[in-house]
């Protein structure tokens, strides 16, 4: 029987418990869907939009990001550099190479060729250089982080680079969870409307006669 405070009854508590269980299941499902969506956005959108050097340097940028919080931390970083002669001092100096300075060397399958774990990049014509190579140097991690961020990643931190992925995953998780819970509430409401109410009902003689017009009796045998 329905009451004003039905949620305090045993049946109401049972339905509430079942509703919470279904909601938890929806959350778990949408966590998986949201995570997969974030990965897909990162793989097919964020990473796909990287330049050649952004792809190459990303693991080092990630490492320098969290190690930059250690003030005296020093690590070795590998960067592409060209050696030129300083016109003032007449000494050789190393200059970092940027994406606009190079073009990748492709194989027959239109993939960048790899040599000794590094992509083969060609320096564009017109750029002065005596040497052009990958060079490993030891620098402070905070200095490496600032250099990668400013010169390679357009002054964007890793959370900013990943924003489309984590924001898209959160939106899909939130909207999907709300949609599933709303659909469940709608379905349960439709079910409750069609559910017969247990207990006695007050009927007028006319309604009683109409509802029981096909009944021939209660099947009770009476012995006189």
Domain layout of the chain by residue ranges? 1-49+162-195, 70-153
Question: What token pair was written down for 131?
Answer: 């040497």
- Residue 192 pLDDT greater than 60, yes or no: yes
Eight-class DSSP state of 70: S
CA atoms of 56 and 120, how far apart (whole Å)? 11
Question: What token pair was written down for 127?
Answer: 């750029």
Mean pLDDT of the region 130-157: 91
More confident residue, 86 or 220: 86
The predicted structure's pLDDT at residue 1: 46
Q: Out of 18-27, 55-64, 137-146, pick the least confident.
A: 18-27
pLDDT, the chain, mean = 83
- pLDDT by residue (tens digit) across 47-71? 888 988 998 899 999 999 999 999 8
- Residue 197 pLDDT greater than 50, yes or no: no
The predicted structure's pLDDT at residue 191: 67
CA atoms of 55 and 53, how far apart (whole Å)? 5
Q: CA dist 131 to 82, 89, 115, Å? A: 5, 18, 17
> How many H-runs (helices) and E-runs (strands) does the chain carry?
6, 7
The predicted structure's pLDDT at residue 201: 63
Burial (CB count <10 Å: 0-12, 13-18, 19+), residue 161: buried
The predicted structure's pLDDT at residue 224: 53
- pLDDT by residue (tens digit) across 27-52? 999 999 999 999 999 988 998 889 88
Mean pLDDT of the region 100-111: 81
More confident residue, 33 or 216: 33
């Amino acid at each position: 029987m329905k009451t004003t405070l039905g949620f305090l009854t045993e049946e109401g508590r049972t339905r509430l418990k079942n509703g919470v269980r279904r909601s938890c299941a929806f959350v778990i499902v949408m966590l998986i869907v949201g995570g997969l969506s974030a990965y897909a956005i990162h793989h097919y959108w964020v990473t796909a939009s990287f330049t050649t050097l952004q792809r190459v340097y990303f693991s080092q940028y990630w490492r320098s990001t969290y190690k930059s919080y250690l003030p005296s931390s020093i690590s070795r970083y590998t960067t592409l550099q060209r050696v030129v002669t300083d016109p003032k001092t007449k000494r050789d100096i190393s200059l970092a190479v940027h994406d606009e300075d190079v073009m990748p060397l492709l194989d027959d399958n239109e993939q960048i060729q790899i040599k000794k774990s590094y992509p083969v990049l060609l320096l564009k014509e017109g750029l002065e250089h005596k040497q052009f190579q990958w060079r490993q140097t030891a620098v402070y991690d905070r200095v490496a982080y600032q250099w990668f961020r400013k010169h390679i990643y357009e002054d964007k931190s890793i959370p900013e680079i990943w924003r489309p992925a984590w924001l898209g995953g959160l939106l899909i998780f939130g909207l999907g969870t709300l949609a599933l819970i709303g659909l469940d509430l709608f379905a349960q409401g439709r079910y409750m409307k069609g559910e017969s109410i247990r207990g006695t009902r007050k009927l007028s003689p006319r309604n009683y006669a109409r509802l029981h017009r096909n009944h021939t009796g209660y099947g009770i045998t009476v012995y006189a």
